[in-house]
Chain A
């Protein structure tokens, strides 16, 4: 959202140097209690109003979900699932949006320095002025959250109202939620809050109630209280064990030194080529090295990382 908060940045995309993390802020979290959510969509509206983004008026596609999906103008949507089991119907309503992973796949995948940052409070934010619209964050996200705008070719998603949190306010969705299904505070407090809710849900017969804070992404700064934590997939395909795509890990992990090595080789090959063959004589049509093989191809991604 803004690069002005530069003094409490924990991680920056495509940057190896440690950002100037002068201030260390409390780790925050939003807790979404699915068992208390009535799906009223007030949070959707509050989000649009605070961030001044709104989609065009769509149409009904046979379900209550509207807008039907996240978009550059819709950063959170209610996902409605009708689940029937042993004659008992449940209408599971999950507020979908960025999970603000502790280990953010988007940030890891992002090739543009500083386009995605993680603050020391855990919020993962997109800095649109640095975004190059490559869409790697979309691939990198295990929750399918970021969306690329057709208008300006930049990526957008929930900021956890980093601008509000910075000045000590709760996110807009939290403030507007009429039933208290969305809560906000330190991650520690939210876990404690969730623990209390789980006691209540278990007492009501939800033996598998649990907190969704998936370790595969290092935990999240948006957590869910689920009635059926053993089956997150029931909630409109919430991933059971989300993790960063192996492709992202590969190219940012093992592949990166290899790529660097390959680039080094390329440079070396170029040098020897220069030494041995001399530059192409572009003026003459009888260049001596004209029929040499082309230089090794460098993959697009690797070029960007170089």
Chain B
């Protein structure tokens, strides 16, 4: 979230799209009801199904699964065509004014720089025109045909209400009505929040869907303001913490990145990440990358990381490719990955194309499952009749289960969607032999390190040199780990030399041995260590900031700076300096967040700005090299600088209505598809119905089917279909049905509902089959088929998050 849960109450319009907050985030949804109750907010829901969120809405519009870019692109077109943008915001705080080179082009659904054989783009043609002063060229009038504003306008002029209706199946009037609600927030004194979740992430175009919404919010001036923002509702209580700490195959903690195979040279690695400002006076905060990186390496490798050995750069693996989950299971299938440690993770249930996952696990030599529960993964080898029809005798994988604790059985911090680190205390000791995850990992590490010490090896240093100074080496405490990621001074941290008196002794800002107050103290000379720079400030010399529980709200807009601790530096709303106009005055006097008094910044939140920087000179998007937000992304996206609608890899249509003449632009041309998987995609003649998977309120993923209370409230698997399809197929309430995709089939109960309607997509009638995903073959609820028996093995071009939300099936009465 750019904002946070409580702040939703400040919104005038709430758009829930690509998520279903009332269903999947019922406790957070209360802030929507607060906004409605106290702010007369209007709730607009756009979803293939009339969800529990829709039941609470003031307006609902349907759309076909996987067509969100077309819908939002249409909204952008509406805003531009009807002049419903916040001009001053767009001109000053976005790259609308930046001029592109003449190398950029877009035709027939494909951007310049495409390599069909590699299914990837070379982004070099997407860059800005660079002037003689070394900075990007801008046109404040936004009239230059090559400026981002004009390019954007042209790109989305194709997304007319008629085209939107044809692609999405949304009735034109409904689409326009949604546009009106959204456009009402282009006024500086109105704000809209966007609440989304995996309904956007889990598409082959997921990242671009989210970007389209962010662009819409920028045009409306809704980023950085109270009640605005792009708010990702995270699906597990600590999944935000997982990404923050870098538990993805290409990341290091704090969104630092692992070097690629071609980056063997430390200088080159650092230089490419130390972004110089693209405009005069801008902050470009990633200029500090070396400080964050060196402090991380000092935290990990201590004295073994020295300036001479480039802070142990050689200890870091160099990625030849991303090792995301799809890649991992592909490699298992090929017999190239032989062991797997699966911690708090149930891939048999959670990953797409169950048959392929089972095949991968069956190829392993060993599988370690660290989990509090006996999961589908830990019992993948066992035959559960039709629900898991495997030949146990032919599976040689050795499976080791290591029981771990549940969250309520351990102390520690959880990071919520709003980036708050909240400390919690255990409620009960774990049962039986269960141990905390940290203890299990520590035990494995200590034993492996002993083996390396005893037997040596090809490259033992990264293991033998790892900092491991915990009081109990086999049981690092949550407090020790938290203090480590906050960081401390290894030597006295000194103030920069005084330019007026360079010979004077430098002041000591933090004495050696003390906890750091924030990442502003990090140094790239080895004098500081910090396990995760964005978490610096969570456990200072003053103690555990995450355990704070003061909910006082002196400004009355719900920012509660004394409650827990929020990264970065306890800031509650990112880019909050954009809530003030270029003179530093809040756009909306009712929602004063931060402001500039002529000398310094202050207000209800921790200003996201250099405290004394004049807003006339320094723009609020301090993390970008531009100093402003990017409507057009000159680099960093795998599948284009502007979002473009592509069909899901399995679509009920035979052509992409936006680019009907170009088969290459049917689905995301830059998404990775493994050999053999392209053929496994179903065709509309065999699988004519759009399908989507989702959660229900009564359950949490594949966990709560182990719990009586949850199983009682939703005991048995079902699929949902509209009344019209049910009638066509002769299916009644409660009938058993068979749902097939090109990868497998499930047999389950049918819920026939008015809440899913057939959509008219340019003459093609599209029915949707809704598939809740909570059942499996372990637990106390009735056994069911894993929903991922059906889903396709393809992911987003940027994140490789699987496309669970849009694929095709057929359905018949069982």
A residues lining the B interface (CB < 8 Å):
35-36, 38-42, 44-45, 48-49, 54-64, 66-67, 82, 84, 89-93, 178-181, 197, 200, 203-204
Contact = CB atoms under 8 A, between A and B. Distances in A.
Contacts of B60: 89
B45 to A, nearest CB: 11
A90 B55 contact: yes
B23 interface: yes
B754 A38 contact: no
Contact of B708 (A35, A54, A179): A54
Interface string B716-758: 1110000000000000111100000000000001111111000
B50 A178 contact: no
A66 B708 CA distance: 13
B715 A40 contact: no
Interface string B27-68: 101100100110010000000001011111010100000000
B178 interface: no
Contact of B753 (A45, A82, A180, A204): A82
Nearest to B36: A200
Contact of A62 (B697, B709, B713, B751): B751
Most central of A35, A44, A59, A60 by chain B CB within 10 Å:
A60
Contacts of B22: 38, 40, 179
A91 B23 contact: no
B754 A61 contact: no
A82 B22 CA distance: 17
A39 B754 CA distance: 17
B712 A55 contact: yes
B714 interface: yes
Most central of B52, B712, B714, B750 by chain A CB within 10 Å:
B712
B782 interface: yes
Contacts of B780: 57
B603 interface: no
Contact of B712 (A38, A58, A204): A58
A84 B722 CA distance: 14
A49 B709 contact: yes
A62 B749 contact: yes
A38 B753 contact: no
Interface in B770-791: 780-782
B266 to A, nearest CB: 50
A58 B697 CA distance: 17
B698 interface: yes
Contact of A64 (B30, B712, B717, B751): B751
Contact residues of A: prevailing secondary structure: loop
A206 B443 CA distance: 62
B710 interface: yes
Given A38-B697, A57-B715, A178-B26, A91 B52 contact: yes
Contact of A89 (B23, B50, B53): B50
Contacts of A36: 33, 56
B52 A40 contact: yes
A200 B37 contact: yes
A129 to B, nearest CB: 27
Contacts of B36: 200
A48 B711 CA distance: 13
B26 A179 contact: yes
A66 B714 contact: yes
B713 A41 contact: yes
29 contacts: A38-B22, A38-B29, A38-B53, A38-B55, A38-B697, A42-B26, A44-B713, A45-B710, A45-B713, A49-B709, A54-B708, A54-B709, A54-B712, A57-B782, A60-B716, A60-B749, A61-B733, A61-B734, A61-B749, A62-B733, A62-B751, A64-B751, A67-B713, A82-B754, A93-B55, A178-B29, A179-B22, A180-B33, A200-B40
Contacts of A84: 754
A179 B715 contact: no
Interface in B422-439: none
Given A59-B749, A60-B714, A62-B750, 4 more contacts: A38-B26, A82-B755, A92-B55, A203-B40
A56 B698 CA distance: 16
Range of interface residues on B (Cβ < 8 Å): 35 or more
Contacts of B718: 60, 62
Contact of A41 (B29, B50, B698, B782): B698
A40 B752 CA distance: 20
A153 B798 CA distance: 62
Nearest to B28: A178
B715 A60 contact: yes
A176 to B, nearest CB: 10
A203 B60 CA distance: 18
Given A54-B712, A200-B37, A59 B782 contact: yes
A38 B782 contact: no
Nearest to A90: B55
B707 to A, nearest CB: 9
Contacts of A197: 37
Interface in B1-37: 22-23, 26-27, 29-30, 33, 36-37
Most central of A35, A64, A82 by chain B CB within 10 Å:
A64
A180 B35 CA distance: 13
A75 to B, nearest CB: 13
B52 A38 contact: yes
A62 B752 contact: yes
A178 B30 contact: yes
B27 to A, nearest CB: 5
Nearest to B708: A54
A89 B723 CA distance: 13
A57 to B, nearest CB: 5
A269 to B, nearest CB: 57
Interface string B97-110: 00000000000000
Contacts of A60: 714-718, 734, 749, 751
Contacts of B713: 41, 44-45, 66-67
Given A57-B780, A89-B60, A91-B55, A66 B712 contact: yes
A54 B713 CA distance: 10
A41 B699 CA distance: 11
Contacts of A49: 709
A204 B708 CA distance: 39
Nearest to B696: A64
Contacts of A91: 50, 52, 54-55, 755
Nearest to A197: B37
A91 B20 CA distance: 15
The 9 closest A-B pairs by CB, nearest first: A62-B733, A62-B734, A91-B55, A60-B716, A38-B22, A40-B697, A82-B754, A178-B26, A45-B709
B755 A57 contact: no
A55 B781 CA distance: 13
Contacts of A35: 56
A59 B716 contact: yes
Contacts of B56: 35-36, 38
Nearest to B42: A204
A67 B712 CA distance: 7
Nearest to B22: A38
A33 B749 CA distance: 31
Contacts of B55: 38-39, 90-93
Contacts of A41: 697-698, 713
Nearest to A49: B709
Contact of B33 (A39, A67, A179, A204): A179
Given A40-B697, A89-B60, A91-B55, A57 B29 contact: no
A232 to B, nearest CB: 18
B694 to A, nearest CB: 13
Contacts of A59: 715-716, 749, 782
A57 B754 contact: no
A161 to B, nearest CB: 17
A244 B128 CA distance: 78
A40 B53 CA distance: 11
Nearest to B43: A204
B709 A89 contact: no
A54 B708 CA distance: 9
Contact of A179 (B30, B40, B734, B752): B30
